[in-house]
Chain A
Amino acid sequence: MITAAAADAALSWNLVRDVRQMFAYSFMVNAFRAGTVVAVTAGATGWFMVLRRQTFAGHTLAVAGFPGAAGAIWLGVGATYGYFAFCLAAALLIAAIPTAGGATAGRAAESATVGTVQAFALACGFLFVSLYKGFLGGVNTLLFGSFLGITDGMVLTLTAVAVAVLAVLAVLGRPLLFASLDPAVAAATGVPVRALSVAFLIVLGSTAAEVSQITGTLLVFTLLVIPAATAQILTPRPALSLALTVLFGLLVTWAGLTVAYYSPYPIGFFITSFAFGLYLLARLAVHAHDLLGRTARTSHPAEAAA
């Protein structure tokens, strides 16, 4: 499929013609539609995930889709159901377990639990794949994604879930922001911190399930974490950095899709590399800005170091 697309896809100097040609294929149109939906959802959820420093839980939910999809294919059900069932189940599991030990179970115990859930989920995926004979080649697609063969129906499902996720985030947004930044004060002023954290894990699970279907379970994490990390380096203002996150997610996804269309190499590599490139640029820019600001503000080295 990739070679068929690449055969008559050659870059010319006429950019408009090239874009037109790319969009003449319905699979590319669907890929861009799905990519856009997925990038917006992942950006919005990922922004809260990075703010709450729940990267480990996010990564675990992201990979939980793999056994879901593998199991669904083994049983002959649609992979979409598998993704959602397992990601949501893992979200509830992670939400439930840390409380089992009461208040004494600290960060150490929690991270051991999350790690065990993740490894066991992946092991189950491997079991399902082994039980389903002759499917070993499909593992790579499940893990690393494919932008080919996205149907109109899939785009519709993705959009529906995205609207639901974004609506929930819009409703929860303000209290969730408060609870994420200062849980102690939020709890004291009557914000249901615990319920919000469970609700957020469920949102994160749905997002992971949705994004997995395009990027593959191992690369969901890229779209969740890197655009948000980049934006939060650039500005401390919540609304602006949220907008930047979504923008970066979209840019990276569109660029990745376009380059992957013209290249024989997998899309996952391009999306992760573009995202990481932006992240490095942002870090460099902030660093340079700090240096310039320091030299401009003061000529006193001791003050600059303070």
Chain B
Amino acid sequence: MSAQTADTGLTAMFDHPFMQHAFLAGTGIALAAGLVGYFLVLRAQVFTADALSHVAFTGALAALVTGVDARIGLFAATITVGFALGALGSRGHADDVVIGSVFAWILGLGVLFLALYTTHRSSGNGTAGVTVLFGSIFGLDASHAWEAAVLAALLCLAVIVIGRPLLFASLDPAVAAARGVPVRLLGVGFLGLVGAAAAEATQAVGALLLLGLLAAPAGTAQRLTTRPYHGMWISSSVAVAVTWAGLTTSYLAPRIPPSFAILAFATATYAVALTVTTRTVTAIHPPVPSPATSTAQRSPTSS
């Protein structure tokens, strides 16, 4: 493709309403995902987002089967499970094996709903499952895009409001608790926010790929700076930048699906950050429990 065609393609890009909607929703969703993702990586809870992505699939399909707006099922399922995971685990951290067992079953339920939907609703929409799993940001209409953007703005606001205490509670839970920070409540509330962010991101990149939008920009930020507030802004800026780049690429080369393009840019950015900072990094991270302690936690306590 010559530079000239790319140029005319780019100037005409915003003439298309579907591109305007995609950019509007994409920017909001990326901002929220970047902010929430930063804390998710800081708290080493990325696996929780992995679980929520499967819950999102089941929630959306359950709504489709019952004939409700898919987004209602999506948000209801992810926020409920987010709160539940926070409430079940000690101090807002649930055991990975428990999470894994639960979401494996929830995904099984999703498969059932998919079968019910494709066999009982002969609307010819056999690709509903694929749309939920991999997203269809170019298919958003104006009202959906605006709703997604407003919700994303609210999410960002919520993260900023609880940002300071959450940061404290994430970096040093013991000291934070001693200073009167409600560590457990913050952990549960934060997972509720992660649930909402997962439901938002499902609309942009799909249930299976939202993990990348949450993890890759945040991982990049963790590699580039040790200062939390800089990290938060780097994370959301990277998320927005890769979303714009992905949408533009997919517009110029229609055979490439937008969710793949966004994920490809996100992964490339993270890979570059990893290689560049390999020598110099002294990344902040929460105190790493040594393998010995985690073994002690799960072995039956001698009574």
Do the two shown chains form a genuine complex with each other? yes
Which among B10-18, B68-76, B103-111, B179-187 touches the partner chain? Answer: B103-111
Which among B23-31, B151-159, B192-200, B292-300 touches the partner chain? Answer: B292-300
> Is A225 a contact of B100 with CB atoms below 8 Å?
yes
A106 interface residue (CB < 8 Å to B): yes
> Is B100 a contact of A219 with CB atoms below 8 Å?
no
Q: A105-B283, A120-B267 are in contact. Are A126 and B259 (CB under 8 A)?
A: yes
Which partner residue on chain B sits nearest A52 by CB separation?
B291
B141 interface residue (CB < 8 Å to A): no
Which residues of B (273-289) have their CB < 8 Å from a CB of A?
A: 274-275, 277-278, 281-283, 285-286, 288-289
The proximity string for A residues 180-210 relative to B, scoring 1 for CB distances below 8 Å and 0 otherwise, is: 0111100000000000000000000000000
Residues of A within 8 A of B116 (CB): 265
Task: Report the interface size for chain A: residues with CB under 8 A from the other chain.
Answer: 63
> Is B97 a contact of A119 with CB atoms below 8 Å?
no
Q: How many A-B residue pairs have CB under 8 A?
A: 228
> Is B215 a contact of A102 with CB atoms below 8 Å?
no
- Cα A273 to Cα B107 in complex, Å, equals 10
Q: Which has the most chain B C-beta neighbours within 10 Å: A114, A116, A268, A276?
A: A116
- Complex partner residue of A140 from B43, B129, B134, B209, CB under 8 angstroms: B129
Chief secondary structure at chain B's binding surface: helix
Residues of B within 8 A of A122 (CB): 134, 208-209
> Is B222 a contact of A102 with CB atoms below 8 Å?
no
Which residues of B (195-251) have their CB < 8 Å from a CB of A?
A: 206, 208-216, 218-219, 222-223
- Complex partner residue of B219 from A113, A140, A219, CB under 8 angstroms: A113
Task: Report the interface size for chain B: residues with CB under 8 A from the other chain.
Answer: 76
B114 interface residue (CB < 8 Å to A): yes
Which partner residue on chain A sits nearest B109 by CB separation?
A269
Residues of A within 8 A of B218 (CB): 112
The proximity string for A residues 274-306 relative to B, scoring 1 for CB distances below 8 Å and 0 otherwise, is: 011001000000000000000000000000000
- Complex partner residue of B214 from A108, A115, A229, CB under 8 angstroms: A115
> Is A273 a contact of B291 with CB atoms below 8 Å?
no
B257 interface residue (CB < 8 Å to A): yes
The proximity string for A residues 206-241 relative to B, scoring 1 for CB distances below 8 Å and 0 otherwise, is: 000000000000110110011001000000100000
Which among B44-52, B82-90, B160-168 touches the partner chain? Answer: B44-52
Q: A119-B209, A123-B259, A266-B112 are in contact. Are A108 and B222 (CB under 8 A)?
A: yes
> Is B50 a contact of A56 with CB atoms below 8 Å?
yes
Chain B residues with CB under 8 Å of chain A are 41-47, 49-50, 54, 96-102, 104-105, 107-109, 111-112, 114-116, 119, 126-127, 129-130, 133-134, 206, 208-216, 218-219, 222-223, 255-257, 259-260, 263-264, 266-267, 270, 274-275, 277-278, 281-283, 285-286, 288-292, 294-295, 299-300
Q: Could you write out 19 A-B pairs with CB less than 8 Å apart? A: A101-B278, A106-B285, A107-B285, A109-B41, A109-B283, A115-B49, A120-B263, A123-B263, A129-B130, A130-B255, A130-B256, A139-B133, A182-B291, A222-B104, A226-B104, A236-B299, A266-B114, A273-B108, A279-B101
